[in-house]
Homo-oligomer: A and B are copies of this chain.
Amino acid sequence: MKQTTSQQKEIILTGDRATGPLHLGHYVGSLKQRIQLQHIHEQTILVADMQGLTDNAHTPKKVSENILNVVADYLAVGIDPLKTTICLQSKLPALAELSMFYSNLVTISRLERNPTVKSEIQSKAFNRSVPAGFLTYPISQAADITAFNATLIPVGDDQLPMLEQTNEIVRKINSLAGKPILNECRALLSNAPRLPSTDGKNKMSKTMGNTINLGASEKDIRTAVKSMYTDPNHLRVEDPGQVEGNVVFTYLDAFHPDTNYITELKKQYQQGGLGDGTTKKILEDCLQTLISPIRERRSIYLDDKAQLIDILKRGSAIADQKTQQVLFDVKEVFGLNLF
């Protein structure tokens, strides 16, 4: 008997720019979700080296040296290469070829109006010297998504304009084809709130030293938690403290398994009588427990680079086949499958 109630299998495309090892922000923001999604849907993770180069072309090692780190991060947290296709963007020529086709269907002014790109250009202080590859990366992202004919894209809400841009291209191609060739995609918005940096102020970044990487050592974790931003007005243990904006509590909310216990702790902190040293110790223990096995697995994976490369190679071969099929369909629309 057919199971009519079973959930429709979605095609999921997700990925990370390979510009640094992954950290706890990735863990709560996307990795945990991916570990679950791989059991339900057809999931591909793209290690986005080409996109990483759009603002790092003059320091390419920042990208090339992080590719295997990112793959090791995936495996260490429990992404299963037999369930999830893990592939390397630069190994998929169809993505570049689709980008070329799509770039004729999107105007420069449309790209300049894209709110995500706009704010990223501002934050990177490119001004007028924005690289062409950076302004046009929504096109390349549309190529990535459509090349897998993905239907569901896990994103933060700041990325919604990218999906809109993708669907505009999908509709143009389908209209040129006179039939549906490409799928429109929907966003899978994460319900996890964005994890703040340990300093509570800036965006997480390796250079700011305000992240906790998945490969962080015991000492790294201790140092990071000790320097964490709490309530600057909470000077003595007996003073009432503030929980909102207190990074230690945000992390406890995100990572501590016992939510009742954390609710109790918060009450106590707000009433006074609970020192930052104590809450930080609780958080540190919790993070050490979480990260220790990840770090261990990560290090074992990184000791066997040949295996990591093999996983990426197999995943890329699968992805190449899928994306070549879509490229063929799109080239058909333009009448270019002569031979």
Contacts and interface: CB of A to CB of B under 8 A. Distances in A.
Interface of A: 49-50, 53-55, 57-58, 60-61, 63-65, 67-68, 88, 90-91, 93-94, 96-97, 99-101, 103-109, 111, 128-136, 139-140, 176, 309, 312-313, 316, 331, 333-336, 338-339
B135 A335 contact: no
Contacts of A64: 334-336, 338
A134 B100 contact: no
A133 B338 contact: no
Contacts of A176: 57-58, 60
Copies of the protein in its oligomer: 2
Given A53-B334, A104-B53, A105-B57, A136 B140 contact: no
Contacts of A101: 53, 57
25 contacts: A50-B100, A53-B101, A57-B104, A57-B105, A60-B336, A61-B335, A64-B334, A91-B339, A99-B100, A100-B133, A100-B140, A103-B133, A104-B132, A104-B134, A105-B131, A106-B131, A108-B108, A108-B132, A109-B128, A109-B129, A132-B139, A136-B136, A309-B338, A309-B339, A312-B339
B49 A336 contact: yes
Nearest to A98: B96
B96 A136 contact: no
A68 to B, nearest CB: 8
Contact of A132 (B54, B61, B111, B309): B111
- Main DSSP-derived SS at the A contact region: helix
Contacts of A139: 132
Pick the 5 closest A-B CB pairs, nearest first.
A64-B335, A57-B104, A103-B133, A93-B93, A104-B133
Contacts of A108: 108, 128, 130-132, 135
Contact of A107 (B61, B96, B132): B132
A338 B67 contact: yes
Contact of A90 (B55, B65, B129, B336): B336
Given A58-B105, A103-B132, 9 more contacts: A57-B104, A60-B336, A63-B336, A93-B97, A105-B131, A106-B132, A107-B131, A132-B135, A309-B338
A130 B105 CA distance: 10
Nearest to A173: B57
Contacts of A97: 90, 93, 96
A104 B136 contact: no
Contacts of A68: 338
Contacts of A65: 335
Nearest to A316: B339
A279 B136 CA distance: 54
Nearest to A334: B60
Contacts of A54: 104
Contacts of A136: 103, 132, 136
Nearest to A314: B339
B104 A131 contact: yes
* Listed residue (A106, A135, A336) with the most chain B CB atoms within 10 angstroms of its CB: A336
